[in-house]
Amino acid sequence: MSRYTAPLADMRFALYDVLGAEAILTNLNGGEGHTRDLLDAVLDEGARFNEQVLAPLNKSGDQEGCHFEAGTVRTPKGFKEAYKQFVDGGWAGLTAPADMGGQELPESIGAVFKEMIDSANLSWGTYPLLSHGATESLKAIGSDWQKEVFLKAIVDGRWTGTMCLTEPHCGSDLGLLKTRAEPAADGTYKIYGTKIFITAGEHDMTDNIVHLVLARLPDAPAGTRGISLFIVPKFKVNQAGEQGERNAVACGSIEHKMGIKASATCVMNFDGAEGYLIGEPNKGLAGMFIMMNTARLAVGLQGLGLMERAYQNALAYARDRLQMRSLTGAKRPDKPADPLIVHPDIRRMLLTQKAFIEAGRVLTYKAFVLVDVAHRGADETTRKNADDLLGFLTPIVKAMMTELAVENCYHALQIFGGHGYIQEWGMEQLARDARITTIYEGTTQIQALDLLGRKIMQVGRGECCTWRRIPCRKTGHHPLLLRPDPAAPRHPQGGPREWRRQHDGV
Amino acid sequence: MSRYTAPLADMRFALYDVLGAEAILTNLNGGEGHTRDLLDAVLDEGARFNEQVLAPLNKSGDQEGCHFEAGTVRTPKGFKEAYKQFVDGGWAGLTAPADMGGQELPESIGAVFKEMIDSANLSWGTYPLLSHGATESLKAIGSDWQKEVFLKAIVDGRWTGTMCLTEPHCGSDLGLLKTRAEPAADGTYKIYGTKIFITAGEHDMTDNIVHLVLARLPDAPAGTRGISLFIVPKFKVNQAGEQGERNAVACGSIEHKMGIKASATCVMNFDGAEGYLIGEPNKGLAGMFIMMNTARLAVGLQGLGLMERAYQNALAYARDRLQMRSLTGAKRPDKPADPLIVHPDIRRMLLTQKAFIEAGRVLTYKAFVLVDVAHRGADETTRKNADDLLGFLTPIVKAMMTELAVENCYHALQIFGGHGYIQEWGMEQLARDARITTIYEGTTQIQALDLLGRKIMQVGRGECCTWRRIPCRKTGHHPLLLRPDPAAPRHPQGGPREWRRQHDGV
């Protein structure tokens, strides 16, 4: 079985020494208590939980997989109990608002903890994964009742959240969405349609599941401007927040996948299920994107977590396995052969892994520090600048950390040779698990479109030139410096070429 | 399920139009009958066998896997029957010598047929895979009795061959080998030891299995100079070639692997099994390398076969799946969205796949044409030159085609998006199956050592400078031109640096 020890020293180095997070986090609004002592204690405890509770369930979960019987999903042995420990330990609401029952610790600390989960047991981590995104969406645009009933239950871990976007005929292209919502007399909606690839759409860890569902109202415009967002709980909830009868939403089947086999990937059928509109009609995509951006950063962390575990094991194996002599003469003449690590190409692979991880960790944590500053920075300019840079970095973190994870796991498996290809050592599981990360929450190709089309080229829509994310020829502003001139003129309508003509005079 | 149609036009283009194989093959010794009409008919029939018999068993074989019970292996449903059709169709001895019962067709035609097998069903293909290598070894260094009894049975497909090298503590480093052979009074040997990762070490397709086993004689020198090669049949064979009682060799278990799940990867225990020495004592590695080089080229073909199937399916999906509009305006305004293939990054991935396949097919077929010329070229110089270039190309074909296969399957899976990650469409199976190819029969790293250390840098051992495979500074010979000067001086002993000093005067 593959091993995992939380790399606390490396994590602290990235967060504190490279990113200077101590000063940043204590300067957040309400961040006075975020002392290094406190945060370190949290991470120590998190390491214990992940090493001792989640990591031992990684291989068994992969081998057992999820069980689907008559609409219910049973998670692998030990998963439910581990979730209970997660909730009892207060981990579910680690970064959630205090007034919702959370501990309101920085997102960047939550990210370090989540990296450990993703190393210890990626599949298990997908159950609470989307609760975090649901929290963000509900916090931003949920009604008071929705926050009181659904957000609080998610924050304290009693219920989990899902994100129901994909349908059989539409994945990335949400404009094709067909699921429909019919208004009922009591102000609720009846949801009809089929969603696929719904992570943790059904499971046995909690009493209720809160689906966040994209659907169309009867009079909605075509395309993405006619999509609304709804809460559809597995069990209906009354005004007082009491859990009632089963809602008309059911899991039709679970997918048989290459990896993350212990994560239930569900087909969800909505047959007139009772739903509650979140935010405004036809503005659902904006709400979903709050969730989606959170999820994209979370998937970047998954890449990091997988890389760390793959590297730890490859390094240990390369030090232990004796095979052939060093080209520069025996390094262990007392042994029948030298350890693998003496061979140049093995070192190249290990150092590649290490470089990916060290640089990737700083990049990913940087994004989460920006989340903290964007939410709780001292003033509006600071928050806006952090949010701008975060928007730019999100597709980079998502795409880069996952593509590197695929490559990193390739190296780990290669270092193990034939032993990497068999289940016993755990490397092939990491490679299979990693392979989903470049796909879900938007493929690498979708991230590229987001980066180039929305974060760099999207100009001429009244946005300031800082949105172009390339140096402005007129003002010389470089977007990464985040020093836009507040007095800079806003730009006229028109495509990028027209904009460049008017703005830069070229 | 993924589909497969043998790309006969592409195959013929590579073989005939690019490589000019028609003239080469008819000019081989005994090659007068290798007309294009005959060879085309063979390939047409081969395509039918692979499309209709093997391809439909690919997914079911992966899902069912092999069954290990009390020392026996049962292959997945249909595998045994497919093997019978393979033997009945005369495919087992396609390229084997006529005097051994084979059809003595060119190896390059056998390679085209084998590419189809590797596309249709890589796991199934591993059962006859090593029979081919065993044929080559026995043909080269087997005794008359060994040829009569074992080679003929392998050629007609009654028995299959294996290659027993790896032990738990030694993979690439055969010098560490521990399996031992004790001479018996009757001229046979008793073999003791454990071999692992033995492909098709045990199965239910044939009555007998012929293991080619590396082991040490009692007085053998340490390291690779003390290794001998033995035939160890599953059932003993008497002098008349009649199959007798069970030999003391047994399958201890089979591996649970990332892919090629329908291929039995066996732990083989030799408990005083009766064995017959092949060739001279302590010269076993040379015999094994005949087999190994054949197997390395065969694994290169596996990469090609996997790439072809992955590409065919990715292309079909990209044409069929509607998702988003082209950046340059709607290409299918009659449909709700454009097909995936309009998107630049999808095209980039498809074209990358296609480029790998087209160039890779020519390279790989080239190697097999060289095998034909090296075996049956008109004169010794022609044969020697072909063999030289083949030795140089073998690690390149093995490493390149398999590394590209991993990348190619990555692209195919990515083009399918979430649907690539689930078992239904078959892309994830191709990716899992491909992952072994950069490992077995020598990792990419071992190929690199072979290419650089043995094929380029191995000088000063009395070899001519042509072995350096880089232009000789003194004579200007370029090894790829294969025009060595027969009068060139042989080079003195010493390392590469010493050799360069003496030879080039630098």
**Helices A122-141, A79-88: crossing angle, 10 deg rounding:** 50
Mean pLDDT across the stretch B64-76?
97
Decide: helix, strand or coil at residue B71.
coil
- pLDDT at position A171, please? 86
Residues 6+ apart with CB under 8 A from A488: A464, A465, A472, A475, A477
* Interchain proximity B343–A424, CB inside 8 Å: no
Nearest to B258 among A322, A345, A421 (CB): A421
Q: Chain A residue with minimal CA distance to B265?
A: A422
* Interchain proximity B406–A406, CB inside 8 Å: no
- pLDDT at position A452, please? 87
- pLDDT at position A504, please? 52
* Interchain proximity B323–A421, CB inside 8 Å: no
Mean pLDDT across the stretch B51-80?
98
- Site of tokens 């080559």: B136
Residues 6+ apart with CB under 8 A from A430: A2, A306, A309, A310, A409, A412, A413
Angle at A317 between CA A337 and CA A364, to 5 degrees: 145
Q: Render pLDDT for B285-296 as a digit per residue (tens, 0 to 9).
A: 988 889 999 999
B369 to chain A, minimum CA–CA distance in Å? 30
Least confident of A244-248, B39-43, B447-451, B489-493: B489-493
Please check the confidence at residue B162 and state whether its pLDDT lies above 80.
Answer: yes
Q: Render pLDDT for B304-351 as a digit per residue (tens, 0 to 9).
A: 999 999 999 999 999 999 999 998 999 999 999 999 999 999 999 999
Decide: helix, strand or coil at residue B320.
helix
- pLDDT at position B453, please? 82
Pairwise CA distance, residues B411 & B399, whole Å: 19
Q: Which two tokens stand for residue A342?
A: 């003496």
Pairwise CA distance, residues B312 & B332, whole Å: 22
* Confidence band for B53, pLDDT divided at 50, 70 and 90: very high
- Residues of chain A neighbouring B438 (CB-CB closer than 8 A): 414
User: 3-state DSSP: chain B helix, strand, coil percent, rounded to 5?
Assistant: 55, 15, 30
A372 to chain B, minimum CA–CA distance in Å? 31
Nearest to A257 among B196, B345, B421 (CB): B421
Amino acid at B233: P
Complex ipTM value: 0.91
Decide: helix, strand or coil at residue B265.
strand
Task: Give me chain B's average pLDDT, please.
Answer: 91
* Interchain proximity A421–B257, CB inside 8 Å: yes
User: What are the pLDDT tens digits along chain A (506 aa)?
Assistant: 789 999 999 999 999 999 999 999 999 999 999 999 999 999 999 999 999 999 999 999 999 999 999 999 999 999 999 999 999 999 999 999 999 999 999 999 999 999 999 999 999 999 999 999 899 999 999 999 999 999 999 999 999 999 999 999 988 899 899 999 999 999 999 999 999 999 999 999 999 999 999 999 999 999 989 999 999 999 999 999 999 999 999 999 999 999 999 999 999 999 999 999 999 999 999 888 898 999 999 999 999 999 999 999 999 999 999 999 998 999 999 999 999 999 999 999 999 999 999 999 999 999 999 999 999 999 999 999 999 999 999 999 999 999 999 999 999 999 999 999 999 999 999 999 999 999 999 999 999 999 988 888 754 343 434 444 444 445 444 443 333 344 444 444 444 455 455 545 54
- pLDDT at position B327, please? 86
User: Model's pTM, two decimal places?
Assistant: 0.92
- Is residue B83 within a helix (H) or strand (E), and if so which, with residue range? helix B79-88
* Interchain proximity B445–A345, CB inside 8 Å: yes
Q: Which two tokens stand for residue A435?
A: 């392979």
Q: Render pLDDT for B91-130 as a digit per residue (tens, 0 to 9).
A: 999 999 999 999 999 999 999 999 999 999 999 999 999 9
Active site residues of A: 441
Residues 6+ apart with CB under 8 A from A357: A10, A304, A307, A308, A311, A408
Q: Which B residues 56-115 touch A at CB under 8 Å? A: none
- Is residue A235 within a helix (H) or strand (E), and if so which, with residue range? strand A235-237
- Site of tokens 């005004």: A239
- A440 touching B (Cβ < 8 Å): yes
Pairwise CA distance, residues B440 & A21, whole Å: 46
pLDDT-above-70 percentage for chain B: 90
- Residues of chain A neighbouring B258 (CB-CB closer than 8 A): 421-423, 428, 431-432
- Residues of chain B neighbouring A417 (CB-CB closer than 8 A): 171-172, 439, 443
Nearest to B439 among A170, A176, A414 (CB): A414
Please check the confidence at residue B497 and state whether its pLDDT lies above 60.
Answer: no
Q: Which two tokens stand for residue B165?
A: 């090298």
Alpha helices in B332-459 (DSSP H): 344-376, 380-416, 418-421, 427-434, 444-449
Best residue of A64, A173, A446 to probe chain B, by most B CBs closer than 10 Å:
A173
Amino acid at A34: H
* Residue B467 vs residue A46, higher pLDDT: A46
- B346 touching A (Cβ < 8 Å): yes
pLDDT-above-90 percentage for chain B: 85
Pairwise CA distance, residues B308 & B296, whole Å: 19
- pLDDT at position A501, please? 54
- Residues of chain A neighbouring B435 (CB-CB closer than 8 A): 413, 421, 428, 431
Q: Are A197 and A252 in contact (CB under 8 A)?
A: no
B321 to chain A, minimum CA–CA distance in Å? 8
A170 to chain B, minimum CA–CA distance in Å? 7
Residues 6+ apart with CB under 8 A from A121: A50, A54, A55, A57, A58, A61, A262
* Interchain proximity B418–A197, CB inside 8 Å: yes
Q: Chain A residue with minimal CA distance to B197?
A: A418
Pairwise CA distance, residues B169 & B77, whole Å: 34
* Interchain proximity A173–B323, CB inside 8 Å: yes
Pairing of strands B235-237, B228-233: unpaired
Q: Chain B residue with minimal CA distance to A336?
A: B176
β strands within A134-188, DSSP E: 159-164, 180-183
Q: What is the DSSP string of B29-42?
A: TT-TT--HHHHHHH
- Residues of chain B neighbouring A428 (CB-CB closer than 8 A): 257-258, 435
For residue A359, the Cα-to-chain-centroid distance in whole angstroms is 19
- pLDDT at position B213, please? 97
Structural domains in chain A, CATH included, are 287-453 (1.20.140.10), 457-504 (no CATH)
Nearest to B413 among A337, A414, A435 (CB): A435
* Interchain proximity B439–A417, CB inside 8 Å: yes
Pairwise CA distance, residues A29 & A97, whole Å: 12
Mean pLDDT across the stretch B209-225?
95
- pLDDT at position A1, please? 76
- pLDDT at position B452, please? 87
